[in-house]
Amino acid sequence: MKVLAADGISPKGIELLQKEFEVVVKDKLPAEELLEIIPDFDALIVRSASKVTAEVIARAKKLKIIGRAGVGVDNIDIPAATAKGIIVINSPGGNTIAATEHTMAMMLAMSRNIPIANETMHKGEWNRKKYVGVELRGKTLGVVGMGRIGSGVAKRAMAFDMNVLAYDPYINEERAKALGVKVATFDEVIENSDFITVHMPLTKETKGMIAMEQMKKMKPGVRLVNCARGGIIDEADLAEALKQGIVAAAAIDVYTSEPPAEKGNPLLEAPNIVLTPHLGASTVEAQIGVSVDVAKGIIAALHGEPVATAVNMAPVSPQVMRVIAPYLMLAERLGGTVVGLADGPIESVEVTYNGEITEVNTGLLTTAVIKGILNPVMENEVNYVNAPGLAKERGIKVSERKERASEDFANLITVDVVAGGKKLSVQGTLFGTQGRIVRINDFRVDVDPHARILICPHINRPGVIGTVGTLLGGNGVNISAMQVGTTEEEGKNLMVLTVDNDIPAALLETVKALDGIFDAKLVNFYEI
Protein backbone atom coordinates (compact mmCIF):
# COMPACT_ATOMS: atom_id res chain seq x y z
CA MET A 1 0.00 0.00 0.00
CA LYS A 2 1.10 3.58 -0.69
CA VAL A 3 0.82 6.64 1.56
CA LEU A 4 1.18 10.22 0.35
CA ALA A 5 2.53 12.62 3.01
CA ALA A 6 2.14 16.30 2.15
CA ASP A 7 2.69 19.71 3.82
CA GLY A 8 5.85 19.03 5.82
CA ILE A 9 4.72 16.26 8.16
CA SER A 10 7.11 15.64 11.07
CA PRO A 11 9.70 12.94 10.25
CA LYS A 12 8.66 10.97 13.36
CA GLY A 13 5.29 10.20 11.82
CA ILE A 14 6.83 9.44 8.45
CA GLU A 15 9.19 6.94 10.06
CA LEU A 16 6.28 5.02 11.60
CA LEU A 17 4.51 4.83 8.26
CA GLN A 18 7.65 3.71 6.41
CA LYS A 19 7.88 0.64 8.63
CA GLU A 20 4.55 -0.56 7.23
CA PHE A 21 4.01 0.99 3.80
CA GLU A 22 5.59 2.74 0.85
CA VAL A 23 5.57 6.46 1.66
CA VAL A 24 5.92 9.30 -0.84
CA VAL A 25 6.78 12.66 0.76
CA LYS A 26 5.72 15.88 -1.01
CA ASP A 27 6.32 18.83 1.31
CA LYS A 28 5.04 21.42 -1.17
CA LEU A 29 2.32 19.85 -3.26
CA PRO A 30 0.55 21.99 -5.89
CA ALA A 31 -3.18 21.33 -6.25
CA GLU A 32 -2.75 20.24 -9.86
CA GLU A 33 -0.16 17.62 -8.92
CA LEU A 34 -2.35 16.29 -6.08
CA LEU A 35 -5.17 15.75 -8.56
CA GLU A 36 -2.79 13.98 -10.92
CA ILE A 37 -1.18 11.57 -8.47
CA ILE A 38 -3.95 10.84 -5.93
CA PRO A 39 -5.33 7.78 -7.85
CA ASP A 40 -2.17 5.84 -6.92
CA PHE A 41 -2.49 6.17 -3.14
CA ASP A 42 -4.31 4.25 -0.38
CA ALA A 43 -3.81 6.97 2.27
CA LEU A 44 -3.19 10.71 2.35
CA ILE A 45 -1.80 12.71 5.26
CA VAL A 46 -1.90 16.52 5.19
CA ARG A 47 -1.67 19.57 7.41
CA SER A 48 -3.48 22.79 6.46
CA ALA A 49 -1.83 23.72 3.15
CA SER A 50 -3.24 20.99 0.91
CA LYS A 51 -6.94 21.26 0.05
CA VAL A 52 -8.56 17.84 -0.18
CA THR A 53 -11.54 18.91 -2.28
CA ALA A 54 -14.45 16.89 -3.63
CA GLU A 55 -12.59 16.85 -6.96
CA VAL A 56 -9.52 15.31 -5.34
CA ILE A 57 -11.68 12.68 -3.61
CA ALA A 58 -13.54 11.93 -6.84
CA ARG A 59 -10.20 11.30 -8.58
CA ALA A 60 -9.05 8.90 -5.86
CA LYS A 61 -9.39 5.25 -6.85
CA LYS A 62 -7.77 3.45 -3.90
CA LEU A 63 -7.98 6.01 -1.10
CA LYS A 64 -9.19 4.55 2.20
CA ILE A 65 -8.20 7.22 4.72
CA ILE A 66 -7.26 10.91 4.92
CA GLY A 67 -5.29 12.01 7.96
CA ARG A 68 -5.08 15.62 9.15
CA ALA A 69 -1.99 16.24 11.29
CA GLY A 70 -3.75 18.72 13.53
CA VAL A 71 -7.23 19.54 14.81
CA GLY A 72 -9.06 21.51 12.13
CA VAL A 73 -10.36 19.63 9.09
CA ASP A 74 -11.71 22.63 7.16
CA ASN A 75 -9.40 21.83 4.26
CA ILE A 76 -10.97 18.39 3.75
CA ASP A 77 -14.37 17.83 2.11
CA ILE A 78 -15.71 15.47 4.76
CA PRO A 79 -19.15 14.85 3.16
CA ALA A 80 -17.47 13.86 -0.12
CA ALA A 81 -15.08 11.55 1.73
CA THR A 82 -17.88 9.98 3.76
CA ALA A 83 -20.01 9.43 0.66
CA LYS A 84 -17.12 7.53 -0.90
CA GLY A 85 -16.46 5.50 2.25
CA ILE A 86 -13.16 7.22 3.05
CA ILE A 87 -12.29 7.64 6.73
CA VAL A 88 -11.12 11.11 7.81
CA ILE A 89 -9.07 11.35 11.00
CA ASN A 90 -7.42 14.18 12.90
CA SER A 91 -5.36 14.64 16.08
CA PRO A 92 -7.59 16.53 18.52
CA GLY A 93 -5.35 16.01 21.55
CA GLY A 94 -1.90 16.30 20.00
CA ASN A 95 -1.56 20.03 20.58
CA THR A 96 -3.56 20.35 23.82
CA ILE A 97 -0.54 20.92 26.05
CA ALA A 98 1.01 23.35 23.58
CA ALA A 99 -2.15 25.48 23.42
CA THR A 100 -2.58 25.30 27.20
CA GLU A 101 0.97 26.41 27.90
CA HIS A 102 0.78 29.18 25.29
CA THR A 103 -2.30 30.55 27.05
CA MET A 104 -0.40 30.66 30.33
CA ALA A 105 2.60 32.25 28.61
CA MET A 106 0.36 34.95 27.14
CA MET A 107 -1.18 35.67 30.55
CA LEU A 108 2.23 36.04 32.15
CA ALA A 109 3.70 38.10 29.29
CA MET A 110 0.71 40.44 29.39
CA SER A 111 0.57 40.82 33.17
CA ARG A 112 4.31 41.54 33.48
CA ASN A 113 4.71 43.67 30.31
CA ILE A 114 7.42 41.33 29.04
CA PRO A 115 7.20 42.08 25.28
CA ILE A 116 7.42 45.88 25.57
CA ALA A 117 10.04 45.67 28.33
CA ASN A 118 12.19 43.44 26.12
CA GLU A 119 11.74 45.73 23.13
CA THR A 120 12.77 48.87 25.05
CA MET A 121 15.76 47.11 26.63
CA HIS A 122 17.09 46.39 23.14
CA LYS A 123 16.78 50.12 22.45
CA GLY A 124 19.02 50.89 25.43
CA GLU A 125 16.21 51.99 27.77
CA TRP A 126 15.78 51.05 31.45
CA ASN A 127 12.13 51.46 32.48
CA ARG A 128 11.61 49.57 35.74
CA LYS A 129 8.97 51.97 37.05
CA LYS A 130 7.12 52.32 33.76
CA TYR A 131 6.45 48.60 33.34
CA VAL A 132 5.24 47.60 36.79
CA GLY A 133 3.00 44.55 36.34
CA VAL A 134 0.40 42.63 38.30
CA GLU A 135 0.56 39.19 39.93
CA LEU A 136 -1.62 36.23 39.07
CA ARG A 137 -1.71 35.11 42.70
CA GLY A 138 -5.04 35.84 44.34
CA LYS A 139 -6.69 36.97 41.11
CA THR A 140 -9.85 35.45 39.65
CA LEU A 141 -9.51 33.79 36.25
CA GLY A 142 -12.67 33.37 34.21
CA VAL A 143 -12.42 30.39 31.84
CA VAL A 144 -15.02 30.43 29.07
CA GLY A 145 -15.17 26.86 27.78
CA MET A 146 -13.97 23.89 29.84
CA GLY A 147 -12.83 21.44 27.19
CA ARG A 148 -9.36 19.88 27.24
CA ILE A 149 -7.53 23.17 26.84
CA GLY A 150 -9.79 25.22 29.12
CA SER A 151 -9.53 22.56 31.83
CA GLY A 152 -5.75 22.47 31.42
CA VAL A 153 -5.52 26.24 31.79
CA ALA A 154 -7.71 26.12 34.91
CA LYS A 155 -5.48 23.46 36.46
CA ARG A 156 -2.33 25.50 35.83
CA ALA A 157 -3.95 28.73 36.99
CA MET A 158 -4.76 27.12 40.34
CA ALA A 159 -1.07 26.24 40.67
CA PHE A 160 -0.49 30.01 40.51
CA ASP A 161 -2.95 30.42 43.43
CA MET A 162 -5.65 31.88 41.19
CA ASN A 163 -9.36 31.41 41.81
CA VAL A 164 -11.15 29.96 38.79
CA LEU A 165 -14.68 30.73 37.62
CA ALA A 166 -15.76 28.40 34.82
CA TYR A 167 -18.49 28.96 32.26
CA ASP A 168 -19.47 26.02 30.09
CA PRO A 169 -23.06 25.11 29.20
CA TYR A 170 -22.28 21.43 29.71
CA ILE A 171 -20.20 21.31 32.86
CA ASN A 172 -22.09 20.17 35.92
CA GLU A 173 -21.27 20.55 39.61
CA GLU A 174 -19.77 17.06 39.88
CA ARG A 175 -17.32 17.67 37.04
CA ALA A 176 -16.51 21.17 38.33
CA LYS A 177 -15.78 19.81 41.80
CA ALA A 178 -13.37 17.26 40.33
CA LEU A 179 -11.57 20.07 38.49
CA GLY A 180 -11.54 22.34 41.53
CA VAL A 181 -13.35 25.21 39.80
CA LYS A 182 -16.53 27.13 40.56
CA VAL A 183 -19.30 26.95 37.96
CA ALA A 184 -20.64 30.36 36.97
CA THR A 185 -22.92 31.90 34.38
CA PHE A 186 -21.38 33.77 31.48
CA ASP A 187 -22.43 37.10 33.01
CA GLU A 188 -20.90 36.12 36.37
CA VAL A 189 -17.60 35.32 34.67
CA ILE A 190 -17.69 38.61 32.75
CA GLU A 191 -18.47 40.70 35.82
CA ASN A 192 -16.24 39.05 38.44
CA SER A 193 -12.97 38.04 36.74
CA ASP A 194 -9.62 39.81 36.77
CA PHE A 195 -8.43 37.72 33.81
CA ILE A 196 -10.68 36.11 31.18
CA THR A 197 -9.56 33.45 28.72
CA VAL A 198 -11.80 31.93 26.02
CA HIS A 199 -11.64 28.31 24.85
CA MET A 200 -14.80 27.88 22.78
CA PRO A 201 -15.34 26.91 19.14
CA LEU A 202 -16.23 29.68 16.70
CA THR A 203 -19.94 29.28 15.98
CA LYS A 204 -22.89 31.52 15.23
CA GLU A 205 -23.47 31.75 18.97
CA THR A 206 -19.86 32.40 20.06
CA LYS A 207 -18.86 34.85 17.33
CA GLY A 208 -18.48 38.23 19.04
CA MET A 209 -19.69 36.79 22.36
CA ILE A 210 -17.30 39.21 24.07
CA ALA A 211 -17.91 42.65 22.61
CA MET A 212 -18.11 46.20 23.96
CA GLU A 213 -21.38 45.47 25.79
CA GLN A 214 -19.66 42.74 27.82
CA MET A 215 -16.40 44.66 28.24
CA LYS A 216 -18.21 47.58 29.87
CA LYS A 217 -19.51 45.16 32.52
CA MET A 218 -16.04 43.88 33.40
CA LYS A 219 -13.99 44.77 36.45
CA PRO A 220 -11.58 47.71 36.16
CA GLY A 221 -8.15 46.41 35.18
CA VAL A 222 -9.48 43.27 33.48
CA ARG A 223 -7.14 41.42 31.10
CA LEU A 224 -8.37 39.27 28.19
CA VAL A 225 -6.76 36.28 26.43
CA ASN A 226 -7.82 34.56 23.21
CA CYS A 227 -5.82 31.56 22.05
CA ALA A 228 -8.90 29.71 20.77
CA ARG A 229 -10.54 31.12 17.62
CA GLY A 230 -10.39 34.54 16.03
CA GLY A 231 -13.67 36.46 16.29
CA ILE A 232 -14.88 35.17 19.66
CA ILE A 233 -13.68 38.49 21.06
CA ASP A 234 -14.78 41.34 18.77
CA GLU A 235 -11.51 42.79 17.46
CA ALA A 236 -12.72 46.35 16.79
CA ASP A 237 -14.43 46.58 20.18
CA LEU A 238 -11.37 45.20 21.96
CA ALA A 239 -9.10 47.75 20.28
CA GLU A 240 -11.43 50.57 21.32
CA ALA A 241 -11.76 49.22 24.87
CA LEU A 242 -7.95 49.13 25.18
CA LYS A 243 -7.70 52.72 23.96
CA GLN A 244 -10.33 53.86 26.46
CA GLY A 245 -8.83 51.88 29.33
CA ILE A 246 -11.99 49.79 29.74
CA VAL A 247 -9.75 46.75 29.30
CA ALA A 248 -6.29 47.07 30.87
CA ALA A 249 -4.50 44.63 28.57
CA ALA A 250 -5.06 41.78 26.13
CA ALA A 251 -3.13 38.86 24.66
CA ILE A 252 -4.29 37.54 21.28
CA ASP A 253 -2.99 34.57 19.25
CA VAL A 254 -5.85 34.13 16.75
CA TYR A 255 -7.59 36.50 14.34
CA THR A 256 -10.70 36.74 12.19
CA SER A 257 -8.43 36.85 9.14
CA GLU A 258 -4.99 35.24 9.21
CA PRO A 259 -2.54 36.73 8.78
CA PRO A 260 -4.29 39.93 9.93
CA ALA A 261 -4.33 42.63 7.28
CA GLU A 262 -1.53 45.10 7.96
CA LYS A 263 -3.83 48.14 7.81
CA GLY A 264 -7.16 46.41 8.32
CA ASN A 265 -6.94 44.90 11.78
CA PRO A 266 -7.45 47.44 14.61
CA LEU A 267 -5.56 45.24 17.08
CA LEU A 268 -2.29 46.02 15.32
CA GLU A 269 -2.57 49.64 16.44
CA ALA A 270 -4.07 49.05 19.89
CA PRO A 271 -2.13 49.79 23.10
CA ASN A 272 -1.31 47.28 25.86
CA ILE A 273 -1.74 44.20 23.72
CA VAL A 274 0.47 41.15 23.18
CA LEU A 275 0.09 39.62 19.71
CA THR A 276 1.48 36.30 18.45
CA PRO A 277 1.01 34.72 14.98
CA HIS A 278 -1.22 31.75 15.88
CA LEU A 279 1.48 29.93 17.83
CA GLY A 280 -0.83 27.92 20.07
CA ALA A 281 0.09 24.58 18.49
CA SER A 282 3.57 25.58 17.34
CA THR A 283 5.89 23.54 19.50
CA VAL A 284 8.31 20.84 18.43
CA GLU A 285 6.51 18.38 20.69
CA ALA A 286 3.06 19.25 19.33
CA GLN A 287 4.13 18.89 15.71
CA ILE A 288 5.67 15.51 16.50
CA GLY A 289 2.61 14.53 18.52
CA VAL A 290 0.05 15.24 15.80
CA SER A 291 2.11 13.51 13.11
CA VAL A 292 2.60 10.41 15.26
CA ASP A 293 -1.09 10.32 16.24
CA VAL A 294 -2.23 10.48 12.62
CA ALA A 295 0.40 7.99 11.45
CA LYS A 296 -0.85 5.47 14.01
CA GLY A 297 -4.43 6.07 12.86
CA ILE A 298 -3.51 5.48 9.23
CA ILE A 299 -1.67 2.28 10.10
CA ALA A 300 -4.70 1.01 12.05
CA ALA A 301 -7.16 1.91 9.29
CA LEU A 302 -5.11 0.28 6.53
CA HIS A 303 -4.96 -2.87 8.65
CA GLY A 304 -8.75 -2.82 8.96
CA GLU A 305 -8.79 -1.78 12.61
CA PRO A 306 -11.07 0.92 14.14
CA VAL A 307 -9.62 4.43 14.49
CA ALA A 308 -10.50 6.39 17.63
CA THR A 309 -9.99 9.83 16.02
CA ALA A 310 -12.26 9.36 13.01
CA VAL A 311 -14.24 12.56 12.44
CA ASN A 312 -16.82 11.20 10.02
CA MET A 313 -17.91 7.66 10.89
CA ALA A 314 -17.23 4.75 13.21
CA PRO A 315 -17.08 1.24 11.71
CA VAL A 316 -20.54 -0.30 11.24
CA SER A 317 -21.49 -3.41 9.28
CA PRO A 318 -23.11 -2.73 5.89
CA GLN A 319 -26.26 -4.60 6.97
CA VAL A 320 -26.79 -2.42 10.03
CA MET A 321 -25.83 0.75 8.17
CA ARG A 322 -28.54 0.18 5.58
CA VAL A 323 -31.16 0.20 8.35
CA ILE A 324 -29.89 3.09 10.48
CA ALA A 325 -28.39 5.43 7.86
CA PRO A 326 -31.68 7.25 7.13
CA TYR A 327 -32.04 8.01 10.86
CA LEU A 328 -28.55 9.42 11.53
CA MET A 329 -29.28 13.05 10.66
CA LEU A 330 -32.64 12.88 12.45
CA ALA A 331 -30.98 11.55 15.62
CA GLU A 332 -28.36 14.31 15.56
CA ARG A 333 -31.02 16.98 15.01
CA LEU A 334 -33.08 15.60 17.90
CA GLY A 335 -30.03 15.99 20.13
CA GLY A 336 -29.45 19.52 18.87
CA THR A 337 -33.10 20.42 19.38
CA VAL A 338 -33.32 19.21 22.96
CA VAL A 339 -30.10 20.98 23.95
CA GLY A 340 -31.44 24.15 22.35
CA LEU A 341 -34.39 23.94 24.75
CA ALA A 342 -32.19 23.47 27.82
CA ASP A 343 -31.58 26.26 30.34
CA GLY A 344 -28.83 24.49 32.27
CA PRO A 345 -26.11 21.85 31.98
CA ILE A 346 -27.16 18.44 30.65
CA GLU A 347 -27.10 15.89 33.46
CA SER A 348 -28.45 12.79 31.74
CA VAL A 349 -29.63 11.57 28.34
CA GLU A 350 -31.91 8.61 27.65
CA VAL A 351 -32.64 7.53 24.08
CA THR A 352 -35.60 5.20 23.55
CA TYR A 353 -36.25 3.32 20.31
CA ASN A 354 -39.63 1.92 19.32
CA GLY A 355 -40.56 -0.23 16.36
CA GLU A 356 -38.68 -2.30 13.80
CA ILE A 357 -35.46 -0.35 14.31
CA THR A 358 -35.02 -2.11 17.67
CA GLU A 359 -33.96 -5.25 15.80
CA VAL A 360 -30.53 -3.82 14.91
CA ASN A 361 -27.68 -2.25 16.87
CA THR A 362 -28.73 1.34 17.45
CA GLY A 363 -25.55 2.38 19.27
CA LEU A 364 -24.44 4.67 16.44
CA LEU A 365 -27.81 6.46 16.52
CA THR A 366 -27.41 7.12 20.24
CA THR A 367 -23.94 8.46 19.48
CA ALA A 368 -25.50 10.72 16.83
CA VAL A 369 -27.84 12.12 19.51
CA ILE A 370 -24.86 12.84 21.79
CA LYS A 371 -22.99 14.39 18.87
CA GLY A 372 -25.93 16.74 18.28
CA ILE A 373 -25.99 17.69 21.96
CA LEU A 374 -22.25 18.40 22.26
CA ASN A 375 -21.44 19.94 18.87
CA PRO A 376 -22.48 23.53 19.72
CA VAL A 377 -20.04 23.92 22.61
CA MET A 378 -16.98 21.73 22.04
CA GLU A 379 -13.64 23.25 21.09
CA ASN A 380 -12.85 20.47 18.62
CA GLU A 381 -15.28 18.80 16.28
CA VAL A 382 -17.32 16.08 17.95
CA ASN A 383 -17.45 12.88 15.94
CA TYR A 384 -19.13 9.48 16.08
CA VAL A 385 -16.16 7.94 17.85
CA ASN A 386 -15.32 10.51 20.52
CA ALA A 387 -18.84 11.71 21.44
CA PRO A 388 -19.49 9.04 24.16
CA GLY A 389 -16.14 9.73 25.81
CA LEU A 390 -16.68 13.48 25.71
CA ALA A 391 -20.10 13.05 27.31
CA LYS A 392 -18.54 10.92 30.05
CA GLU A 393 -15.82 13.54 30.64
CA ARG A 394 -18.55 16.11 31.21
CA GLY A 395 -20.42 13.89 33.66
CA ILE A 396 -23.38 13.30 31.32
CA LYS A 397 -25.05 9.95 31.98
CA VAL A 398 -26.15 8.28 28.74
CA SER A 399 -28.54 5.34 28.51
CA GLU A 400 -30.42 3.55 25.74
CA ARG A 401 -33.73 1.70 25.87
CA LYS A 402 -35.66 -0.37 23.33
CA GLU A 403 -39.35 -1.16 23.20
CA ARG A 404 -40.56 -3.18 20.22
CA ALA A 405 -44.11 -1.87 20.40
CA SER A 406 -44.88 1.44 18.68
CA GLU A 407 -48.46 2.68 18.68
CA ASP A 408 -48.43 5.59 16.24
CA PHE A 409 -45.33 5.13 14.06
CA ALA A 410 -43.43 2.25 12.48
CA ASN A 411 -40.29 3.56 14.16
CA LEU A 412 -39.82 6.26 16.78
CA ILE A 413 -36.79 7.83 18.48
CA THR A 414 -37.36 9.58 21.83
CA VAL A 415 -34.66 11.71 23.46
CA ASP A 416 -35.21 12.54 27.13
CA VAL A 417 -32.73 14.73 28.97
CA VAL A 418 -32.44 16.21 32.42
CA ALA A 419 -30.93 19.70 32.25
CA GLY A 420 -30.68 22.00 35.25
CA GLY A 421 -32.98 19.65 37.15
CA LYS A 422 -35.70 19.92 34.49
CA LYS A 423 -36.81 17.11 32.18
CA LEU A 424 -37.07 17.83 28.44
CA SER A 425 -38.16 15.51 25.65
CA VAL A 426 -38.29 15.37 21.85
CA GLN A 427 -39.45 12.61 19.51
CA GLY A 428 -38.77 12.01 15.84
CA THR A 429 -39.51 9.58 13.05
CA LEU A 430 -39.19 9.18 9.29
CA PHE A 431 -41.99 9.96 6.87
CA GLY A 432 -40.70 8.09 3.84
CA THR A 433 -37.07 9.19 3.80
CA GLN A 434 -37.69 12.56 5.48
CA GLY A 435 -36.95 13.03 9.17
CA ARG A 436 -39.62 14.80 11.21
CA ILE A 437 -39.87 16.00 14.80
CA VAL A 438 -43.26 14.75 16.02
CA ARG A 439 -43.26 15.79 19.67
CA ILE A 440 -41.60 18.53 21.74
CA ASN A 441 -42.15 17.94 25.44
CA ASP A 442 -45.92 17.41 25.78
CA PHE A 443 -46.82 19.01 22.44
CA ARG A 444 -47.66 17.02 19.30
CA VAL A 445 -46.05 18.63 16.23
CA ASP A 446 -44.93 17.78 12.70
CA VAL A 447 -41.74 19.72 12.05
CA ASP A 448 -38.99 19.43 9.47
CA PRO A 449 -35.65 19.49 11.39
CA HIS A 450 -34.86 22.73 9.62
CA ALA A 451 -31.60 24.68 9.91
CA ARG A 452 -33.30 27.22 12.19
CA ILE A 453 -36.30 26.47 14.38
CA LEU A 454 -37.98 29.02 16.66
CA ILE A 455 -39.92 27.33 19.47
CA CYS A 456 -42.42 29.42 21.45
CA PRO A 457 -44.85 28.10 24.08
CA HIS A 458 -47.72 30.57 24.20
CA ILE A 459 -51.19 31.24 25.50
CA ASN A 460 -53.95 29.91 23.25
CA ARG A 461 -55.80 33.05 22.24
CA PRO A 462 -56.35 35.07 19.04
CA GLY A 463 -53.59 37.35 17.80
CA VAL A 464 -50.57 35.86 19.59
CA ILE A 465 -49.21 33.96 16.58
CA GLY A 466 -49.89 36.88 14.26
CA THR A 467 -48.00 39.27 16.52
CA VAL A 468 -44.90 37.06 16.39
CA GLY A 469 -45.12 36.74 12.61
CA THR A 470 -45.49 40.49 12.18
CA LEU A 471 -42.54 41.19 14.46
CA LEU A 472 -40.26 38.75 12.65
CA GLY A 473 -41.35 39.95 9.22
CA GLY A 474 -40.78 43.56 10.19
CA ASN A 475 -37.20 42.63 11.11
CA GLY A 476 -36.48 40.82 7.84
CA VAL A 477 -36.94 37.28 9.15
CA ASN A 478 -38.82 35.06 6.70
CA ILE A 479 -40.98 32.24 8.08
CA SER A 480 -40.82 29.23 5.77
CA ALA A 481 -43.19 27.01 7.76
CA MET A 482 -45.26 27.04 10.93
CA GLN A 483 -46.69 24.40 13.24
CA VAL A 484 -48.90 24.79 16.30
CA GLY A 485 -48.54 21.95 18.76
CA THR A 486 -51.34 21.14 21.15
CA THR A 487 -51.40 19.48 24.55
CA GLU A 488 -53.96 18.40 27.10
CA GLU A 489 -53.00 21.42 29.21
CA GLU A 490 -55.86 23.83 28.57
CA GLY A 491 -55.04 27.28 27.20
CA LYS A 492 -51.40 26.53 26.25
CA ASN A 493 -50.03 25.77 22.79
CA LEU A 494 -46.57 25.50 21.19
CA MET A 495 -45.68 27.56 18.13
CA VAL A 496 -42.82 26.11 16.04
CA LEU A 497 -41.53 28.28 13.20
CA THR A 498 -38.87 27.30 10.70
CA VAL A 499 -37.15 30.50 9.60
CA ASP A 500 -34.79 31.35 6.74
CA ASN A 501 -32.83 34.11 8.50
CA ASP A 502 -30.86 34.40 11.68
CA ILE A 503 -32.68 35.90 14.66
CA PRO A 504 -30.39 38.26 16.60
CA ALA A 505 -30.33 37.91 20.37
CA ALA A 506 -32.02 41.28 20.88
CA LEU A 507 -34.90 40.31 18.60
CA LEU A 508 -35.26 36.96 20.38
CA GLU A 509 -35.57 38.79 23.69
CA THR A 510 -38.26 41.02 22.15
CA VAL A 511 -40.20 37.91 21.10
CA LYS A 512 -39.95 36.53 24.65
CA ALA A 513 -41.34 39.79 26.05
CA LEU A 514 -44.47 39.74 23.86
CA ASP A 515 -47.77 39.43 25.69
CA GLY A 516 -48.92 35.81 25.66
CA ILE A 517 -45.48 34.34 24.91
CA PHE A 518 -44.07 32.18 27.73
CA ASP A 519 -40.61 31.62 26.22
CA ALA A 520 -38.71 31.62 22.91
CA LYS A 521 -35.86 29.29 21.99
CA LEU A 522 -33.91 29.37 18.72
CA VAL A 523 -32.45 26.03 17.65
CA ASN A 524 -29.82 26.87 15.05
CA PHE A 525 -28.16 24.09 13.07
CA TYR A 526 -26.31 26.40 10.70
CA GLU A 527 -22.55 26.27 11.13
CA ILE A 528 -20.63 29.53 10.90
* Enzyme catalytic residues: 229, 258, 278
| Interatomic CA distance for residues 276 and 253, integer angstroms | 5
The H or E element spanning position 463 is: none
DSSP for 384-418 reads: TTTHHHHHHHTT-EEEEEEES--SS-SEEEEEEEE
The H or E element spanning position 190 is: helix 186-192
Beta bridge partner(s), residue 59: none
Q: Three-class SS string for 344-359?
A: CCEEEEEEEEEEHHHH
- The number of C-alpha atoms within 13 Å of 421 and in the hemisphere containing its C-beta is 1
**What does each C-alpha distance from 222 to 86, 136, 168, 219, 241 come to in angstroms?**
47, 12, 20, 6, 11
E strand residue ranges, 162-302: 163-167, 182-183, 195-198, 223-226, 249-252, 273-275
Amino acid identity of residue 346, one-letter, is I
The set of residues, in sequence order, having a beta carbon less than 8 Å from that of 271 and lying 6+ positions away, is: 242, 243
| Interatomic CA distance for residues 11 and 486, integer angstroms | 63
Name the residue among 379, 109, 59 with its Cα closest to residue 249.
109
- Sign of the CA dihedral running 474, 477, 479, 482: negative
Name the residue among 438, 449, 430, 427 with its Cα closest to residue 498.
449
| Interatomic CA distance for residues 214 and 192, integer angstroms | 12
